[in-house]
Structure 1
Amino acid sequence: MTASSGTATGRASMIERLAARIVLLGGWRRALLAVVAGALLTFGLPPFNFPAVGFLSFPVLVLLVDGAAGAPDRGFLRRLAPAFRIGWCFGLGYFVGGLWWLGAAMTVEGDAFLWAIPFAVLGLPAVLAVYFGLAAALARAVWSDGAGRVLALAASFALFEYGRARLFTGFPWNELGVLAAPSPLFMQSLELIGLHGLTLLAVFVFAAPVLLLAVGGRPFAVVALVLLVAHVGYGAYRLGTGPAGTVPGVSLRVVQPNIDQGEKWDAAEAERIFDRLLQLTKRPDAGNDAGPPPPAGRTLVIWPESAFPFILTERPDAVARLADALGTGETLLAGAVRLDASPGAEPRYYNSVYAIDENGEIVAAADKVHLVPFGEYVPFEGFLKNVLGLRQLAELPGGFSAGAARQSIALPGLGPLLPLICYEAIFGDEIAARGERPAAIVNVTNDAWYGRTPGPYQHLRQAELTAVSLGLPLIRAANTGISVVTDPYGRPLDGLALGSAGTIEAALPAALPVTPFAKWGNFMFWIGLAGTATIGIFAAVRDARVD
């Protein structure tokens, strides 16, 4: 035996001993390691973007579930309880580590919502962790000592992440597939399999190192390596096809005013805020009589979510000033609070986007359909609001009402633009189900609630992934950042940093042909999930027979 082979054997033996110690952990040590492994996984999310941590966190999870065997004389569900606890602890670490910044929103209104910080920072993650607990328990139901358990874990987590995106209004924030897409190179597979498919791929590939310790696991480890290479290679191929091109005669001006959330609805600050928006809206050469003429064609000016610090339709003077600020051929797409005050009915408020032409006329509007629970409305209002006295963060009587249906905004000379307000942009499945194909996604948002935390970075990434899966450019206007214009491959063409004020001047990127995901939705995901689950079950049966 050579020295090098002896060293390699020693390292392998050390890894096997470490793995055995993890399997044999019990009690609070097992739970603590699961929490730490889940929390470590959040370093793969924006703004850190170090997905390699997945190759440590998921093998640890597999080993912990290996040791989470219930007593054989107990009922079926009670035998799965230890695996549920491990998955729940793993999820608690992941969601606390990935969502702790939600507590920042509770400090905006002074001490009015400080009591809610524990619920936002710990309560919501504890609820979301149930999905991970159920995923671990379901996988444990067909567990084995070989490769089948990794396939079962990938299929189970993908299934429950799909459920997290839908159940109880859905909350797919930081779905595990996000870990596998830290940059445009790693995003391109989304056009084929969507984010849920990427979750299936990510869990299998990240957990694959543990296959090297299993009997008969090496062929599956090779498959995982091939899938990883294919994922990266497809990205390189797509990005190597060249720029997507631009829409002739259409330019963009994205406005980021950087308004502090504590001042946004302060009546004393309303005029100053509106003045800032108008100043940023004017063409850079508008005050120079000797400057060049306005560019030919159409200019889209985009303001962020709820940009107007008042109800626009109640301020004809503001409409007139807005018309003065817009030049010839310019149309404003702006987030606004829309008031529906029908006679004899309670007033209803909508979180909307207005299209306003150069004459100051509102030519189109689209309402937000997917509202933020507790941010814009109180779910189970009869109990939580009327009995417990909970209220939403939005400072409106009764909160916002949801729009009846998602609407595109059609402007002369353009295909339909799809306005997505705030976190609507993370629900790619809902958009893929639409029959009408937009020319671009216009995402208006206000991340000032969360300050300089990971929240705005995570929000941007998920909007980018939705746009790439659909093959559409993304035009994003955020109050305090991060505003950006990306091409349909997810490559940023220009942007503004978090906490800065200014404008983006860019051409409108052209959309790509309809992607498989845009055409078929999650069809490829279901095929992959069924195949993974089937192979995992057969592998588990084979492993049981070998034992």
Structure 2
Amino acid sequence: MIAIASRVRALGGVRAALFAVVLGLLAVSALPPLHVLPAAMVAVPLLVWRLDATRSIRGALALGWLFGLGHFAGMIYWIAYAFLVDAGHYGWMIPFAIAGMAAVLAVFPAVALGLARVFWRPGPGRILVLAGAWALSEGLRGWVLTGFPWAPIGMVWMPFDAMIQATAAVGITGLGLLTMLMLGLPALMGDEGPARRRWGALGAAALVLAVVAGGGAWRLAAHGGGGHWAADGRWIAARDGVDAGTDQGGDAGLLRVRLVQPAIPQALKWGPGRLAANFSHHLDLSTRPGLEGRDVVIWGETAVPYPINLAPEVRAALRAAVPPGGVLITGSVRRAPPGEPTQIWNSLFVVDDEGSVRGVYDKAHLVPFGEYLPLAEWLPFKKLTPGATDFSAGPGLRTLAPGPVPPFAPLICYEVIFPGRVVAAGDPAPQWMVNLTNDGWYGHSAGPYQHFQIARLRAIEEGMALVRVAGTGVSGIVSPLGRVSPVLGLDEEGILDLSVPPPLPARPLYARAGEALPLGLAGLALVVGAMVGMGLTGRSRPSTPTAIG
């Protein structure tokens, strides 16, 4: 291992730059939907050894940016599909969009490595420094330039229910901190010095892994395994602290919902002459047998192609899709009434069986270039979504309490990707979350799968079920412990009749503390790592060769 580390540290010039880009690409394969965890187990130690080789903060910044360029280009390649929906107008932008977005996002790994380099010393302390700096940069990525905290490093553990329970305590940012520790400590196997120190680092990584996995397993066991969905969609809760795994028992769900996924391709969603047919398709799916046994029917983002608030005939037609005494939750464009300044909102409506609107939520976190065009007067193109008018942002998070159903937290599209910013404070407290989205823009790519897994994290962090309805998939329910219901996959037309699990009795620590907790822990790791390094080696610098200036 020492020989391999020495060779990696000795790389120089173009080879070193290409190596950094390839490391970033390699790390992507550990994320959904591939879940190749060994790729991250290789990439992070190699990154540590390359950071050892830098002699300056500028070199570390360059290393981080090159790593990030490969990482984000591989992660967000799927945005190209959105430009292909209207390839004649937007296809030419694909290489510029991917390269530009990757280049901007790469600034955050650059900041992480640059910050780490300030406190970088030989020895185990440098792994704490890197973990803390990385977690701080991921937290920063959630805020800067409206924020884009997509697929953070902690998501390498998504296939393992026990591992991701840590997000209930410290959020995905905190799990990212722990992940960089677990993946970075084996890099000490490449250090000179006593063998016991090298093996001790491997043992420390195993210990962190055992604590995280063991704590998650204990949490799942404490809730009886978390319950499960029966074949007929009922929610079967654990009894006497044990989930028997059978379908026997009554429905312990909070309410009964019907999820409607029409699987209408994005190219046809707003096509001339298609609006009425698409609307009818939603109604036909919604009125399949069993509607009367539901409390709520849920459609996806902008499922209704007409402004519900200005169209009484549309509200009357929607009555057919509402179960008796229940409500329909659907996405629709909301328009300002005649006589007022022209404005449109990407909205969620709650409509009852009388055709009355019982609640409205306007999307507050809009997608740049998709729903509005920054610096529009300087750019020679339009936003990607149909229509010349930019969407207006809503006032912010809120809880809807539409009477017949328990209060819920509404989220539209990528609003669900922001940890700690999905539930409004105050009363009434929501008991479940609803995420309406339209991932049809991104075709059969990694994007929709990553989006679903990100939404899954919010259910664990907040301790309440999340119901997700996507026009073309993936639609389903996530329990408060991250269990996933039967789902409708990409381009799969149909309905799901399921019960929504109730929230946990007590809100998780992260739901109460928010991002301040993991960011505070990241800062503490950075400080402690710096102190450990200085205590072991004074103020000496690594003497390893450099590849990047």
TM-score with structure 2 setting the length: 0.89
**Which residue number corresponds to residue 535 of structure 1?**
528
Give, in angstroms, the shift of residue 115 of structure 1. 2.3
**Which residue number corresponds to residue 342 of structure 2?**
347
Describe the SS at the equivalent of 1:418: strand
Contact 1:180 1:198 (8 Å CA) reproduced: no
CA spacing shift, 1:546–1:400, aligned 2, 3 Å? closer
Equivalent residue for 1:275, pick from 274, 280, 291: 280
User: Is 2:256 the counterpart of 1:251?
Assistant: yes
User: Is 2:394 the counterpart of 1:403?
Assistant: yes
Residues 94-148 of structure 1 show CA distances to partners (whole Å, capped at 9, x for unaligned) of 1011111111100101311112211221110011001111111111111112112
CA spacing shift, 1:248–1:20, aligned 2, 3 Å? closer
The CA distance in 1 between the partners of 2:253 and 2:127, in whole Å, is 50
Give, in angstroms, the shift of residue 150 of structure 1. 1.2
Between 1:491-500 and 1:207-216, the stretch displaced more is 207-216
Matches within 5 A, 1:97-496: 97-214=74-191, 215=193, 216=197, 218-240=199-221, 241-242=223-224, 243=226, 245=237, 250-285=255-290, 294-295=292-293, 299-341=295-337, 343=339, 345-379=340-374, 381=375, 385-431=376-422, 434-436=425-427, 437-496=429-488
Equivalent residue for 1:67, pick from 41, 47, 53: 53
Letter in 1 for 2:487: G
Describe the SS at the equivalent of 1:489: coil
Give, in angstroms, the shift of residue 248 of structure 1. 5.4
Contact 1:433 1:521 (8 Å CA) reproduced: no
Residues 46-71 of structure 1 show CA distances to partners (whole Å, capped at 9, x for unaligned) of 111122321100001011111111xx
Contact 2:132 2:524 (8 Å CA) reproduced: no
Give, in angstroms, the shift of residue 354 of structure 1. 0.2
> How many aligned residue pairs are there?
510
- Higher RCO (Cα < 8 Å, 6 or more apart): 2
Give, in angstroms, the shift of residue 498 of structure 1. 1.0
CA spacing shift, 1:417–1:30, aligned 2, 3 Å? same
Between 1:189-198 and 1:170-179, the stretch displaced more is 170-179
CA spacing shift, 1:205–1:364, aligned 2, 3 Å? same
CA spacing shift, 1:545–1:386, aligned 2, 3 Å? closer
Give, in angstroms, the shift of residue 390 of structure 1. 3.3
Between 1:209-218 and 1:363-372, the stretch displaced more is 209-218
Residues 325-365 of structure 1 show CA distances to partners (whole Å, capped at 9, x for unaligned) of 3231231000110001352x431110010000011111110
Residues 204-243 of structure 1 show CA distances to partners (whole Å, capped at 9, x for unaligned) of 1111111223344544443322111111112222222223
Describe the SS at the equivalent of 1:236: helix
Matches within 5 A, 1:11-22: 15-22=1-8
Contact 1:51 1:182 (8 Å CA) reproduced: no
User: Is 2:25 the counterpart of 1:39?
Assistant: yes
The CA distance in 2 between the partners of 1:324 and 1:145, in whole Å, is 69
Equivalent residue for 1:517, pick from 484, 504, 510: 510
The CA distance in 2 between the partners of 1:462 and 1:324, in whole Å, is 33
Residues 424-459 of structure 1 show CA distances to partners (whole Å, capped at 9, x for unaligned) of 001122236733431111000000000000000000
CA spacing shift, 1:221–1:265, aligned 2, 3 Å? same
Give, in angstroms, the shift of residue 270 of structure 1. 1.1
Letter in 2 for 1:395: P
Alpha-carbon RMSD across the aligned residues, in angstroms, is 1.8
Describe the SS at the equivalent of 2:486: strand
Letter in 1 for 2:30: G
The CA distance in 2 between the partners of 1:435 and 1:142, in whole Å, is 41
Contact 1:432 1:519 (8 Å CA) reproduced: no
The CA distance in 2 between the partners of 1:535 and 1:127, in whole Å, is 30
Contact 1:45 1:182 (8 Å CA) reproduced: no
Give, in angstroms, the shift of residue 285 of structure 1. 4.6
Give, in angstroms, the shift of residue 312 of structure 1. 2.8
Contact 1:307 1:335 (8 Å CA) reproduced: yes
Between 1:386-395 and 1:495-504, the stretch displaced more is 386-395
**Which residue number corresponds to residue 74 of structure 1?**
none
**Which residue number corresponds to residue 29 of structure 1?**
15
The CA distance in 2 between the partners of 1:268 and 1:359, in whole Å, is 28
The CA distance in 1 between the partners of 2:72 and 2:131, in whole Å, is 18
**Which residue number corresponds to residue 75 of structure 1?**
none
CA spacing shift, 1:432–1:275, aligned 2, 3 Å? closer
The CA distance in 2 between the partners of 1:284 and 1:499, in whole Å, is 22
The CA distance in 1 between the partners of 2:446 and 2:460, in whole Å, is 21
**Which residue number corresponds to residue 3 of structure 1?**
none
Between 1:229-238 and 1:86-95, the stretch displaced more is 229-238
Describe the SS at the equivalent of 1:390: coil
Contact 1:45 1:179 (8 Å CA) reproduced: yes
Give, in angstroms, the shift of residue 321 of structure 1. 2.1
Between 1:444-453 and 1:40-49, the stretch displaced more is 40-49
Letter in 2 for 1:518: A
**Which residue number corresponds to residue 247 of structure 2?**
none
Between 1:308-317 and 1:347-356, the stretch displaced more is 308-317
The CA distance in 2 between the partners of 1:374 and 1:263, in whole Å, is 21
Letter in 2 for 1:430: R
CA spacing shift, 1:92–1:338, aligned 2, 3 Å? same
Describe the SS at the equivalent of 1:363: strand
Residues 8-49 of structure 1 show CA distances to partners (whole Å, capped at 9, x for unaligned) of xxxxxxx22111010010011111111111101111111111
The CA distance in 1 between the partners of 2:202 and 2:486, in whole Å, is 40
CA spacing shift, 1:183–1:374, aligned 2, 3 Å? farther
Contact 1:196 1:525 (8 Å CA) reproduced: yes
The CA distance in 2 between the partners of 1:308 and 1:90, in whole Å, is 42
Between 1:106-115 and 1:452-461, the stretch displaced more is 106-115
TM-score with structure 1 setting the length: 0.89
Letter in 1 for 2:179: A
The CA distance in 2 between the partners of 1:443 and 1:546, in whole Å, is 51
The CA distance in 2 between the partners of 1:270 and 1:530, in whole Å, is 52
Give, in angstroms, the shift of residue 392 of structure 1. 1.2
Contact 2:173 2:519 (8 Å CA) reproduced: no
